[in-house]
Copies of this chain bind each other. A is one copy, B any other.
Amino acid sequence: MRVVAGQMLSFIDDPAIVGEERSYRFFDRGAVAIDDGGQIAWSGPLADLPDDWRRTAITDHGRSLILPGFIDAHLHFPQYRMIAAYGADLLDWLNRYTFVEEQRYGDPALAAQAAHAFLDELVRNGVTACLAFSTVHPEALDALFGEAERRNMAVISGKTMMDCNAPRGLSDTPESGYLRSKELIARWHGRGRLQYAISPRFAVTSSEAQLEATGALKREHPDLVLQTHLSENKAEIEAVARVFPWSCDYTDVYDRYGLLSERAFFAHGIHLSERELARLSETGAAIAHCPTSNNFLGSGLFGYRHAREATRPVSVAIGSDIGGGTSFSMLATLRDAYVVSQLAGARISAFDAFYLATLGNARLLHIDHEIGSLDPGRFADLVVLDPEATPVMAARHALSASLHDVLFALIIMGDDRAVAETYVAGRPMKSVLATADNA
């Protein structure tokens, strides 16, 4: 049992739909009461803390903001250390760096060490849950899920499937991809807070037979999330058109094999046509917007407002896309989302941004009954943000006249230093990490 106090912010609904005022709950002195199971028993103004909890020791974060832990809806576990690889564009970057690094993950010892470092980095940045790619190797996924289970973290991942246009060391076959996925689903899905995600890399690296098998997996496990990539880069789009000459566009390839659904996540989706956006809207599939990656690789400017247009609204999640992305920090990710929205001519607000990284991502992953808000019954996955983490942030904070100001400065100027603490299922994790670093 634990009570955590501080400024408290939790979203109720999407500010882009219900308006900012009605989208969140904020308490200047708030508290979250956490039961022994690591779940939120109560949350609200500290002054209203029920009597039962008043004898519990309070961890007081003062003027720092307590939010639901960040959820990263798209990143690559085996790319955790290959950030900032100097590739010309997506396809060059994949071939020169990514495929080389990923081949190392067949080694269970290496994968275990990497899983440790990867999840440490999530914790350092206040990210308590994620939808992540692994590699083609079952060993890599075993390592990631094993370490996540040890930490009781909500990790959603799956073995990558790719059977063509990739090095032999990273390739499976339609049959082995299907069978290994089935085995891993049986071994891991639903164990603790873990979920399996069906994970074909992208259209270019899967044959028609593999996409067919992926469709079968999805039909057999309709409750599973599916993750892949879509329309990131123009050369990639041309490659897809060459490989699938019968398709009317990139989205059509996935559609043909039944991969579009309310539980499907398509990373990037930058250059989609109206037809594609309408089809994503119809099926409820989500785009995972990855602004630092799109900026780093020069992939293009994703139009957030455009994607969400009310006539055919497409769901949009947000992710770091490590290691195409340049930072594990969800604050840095939201900073670049703001930049992209400005350059695309329709800016988002800080409320839009924080909604996306918490309740928005949780809803699209269909885990908002477990995380994404500070409502009772949710796991106490929390991030505590200090708006005065550095001297220049402290100087800027003195000018803030509203909650929006505080949140906006956090995304524009903040990084992992602004994450004062990270709680996973009620347990403080970042301070423990910091202690270990100094030991």
Contacts and interface: CB of A to CB of B under 8 A. Distances in A.
A12 interface: no
Interface string A378-393: 0000000000001110
**Main secondary structure on A side of the interface with B:** helix
Contacts of A405: 86
B298 A343 contact: yes
A83 B396 contact: yes
A310 interface: no
Nearest to A404: B86
A421 interface: no
A57 interface: no
A82 B392 contact: no
Interface in A145-201: none
Nearest to A326: B412
A347 B89 CA distance: 10
Given A391-B120, A413-B327, A408 B298 contact: no
A350 B86 CA distance: 9
A404 B88 CA distance: 14
A120 B392 CA distance: 10
A296 B395 contact: no
Contact of A392 (B81, B392, B409): B81
A86 B395 contact: no
Nearest to A350: B86
Contact of A84 (B341, B342, B345, B396): B396
Interface string A406-421: 0011001101100000
A296 to B, nearest CB: 6
Interface string A73-106: 0000000111111101000000000000100000
A396 B82 contact: yes
A220 interface: no
A101 B412 CA distance: 19
A395 B347 contact: no
A394 B226 CA distance: 33
A297 interface: yes
A122 to B, nearest CB: 11
B86 A399 contact: no
B296 A412 contact: yes
Contacts of A235: none
Given A392-B328, A395-B81, A295 B342 contact: yes
B121 A392 contact: yes
Contacts of A80: 392, 395
A398 interface: yes
Interface in A285-306: 295-298, 300-301
25 contacts: A80-B392, A80-B395, A81-B396, A82-B396, A82-B399, A83-B392, A83-B396, A83-B412, A86-B404, A86-B405, A117-B395, A120-B391, A124-B391, A295-B339, A295-B342, A296-B338, A296-B412, A298-B343, A298-B345, A298-B347, A300-B343, A301-B343, A326-B335, A326-B413, A343-B343
Interface of A: 80-86, 88, 101, 117, 120-121, 124, 295-298, 300-301, 326-328, 335, 338-339, 341-343, 345, 347, 349-350, 390-392, 395-396, 398-399, 404-405, 408-409, 412-413, 415-416, 437
Q: Lowest 5 A-B CB distances belong to which pairs?
A: A298-B342, A84-B412, A81-B395, A295-B339, A84-B409
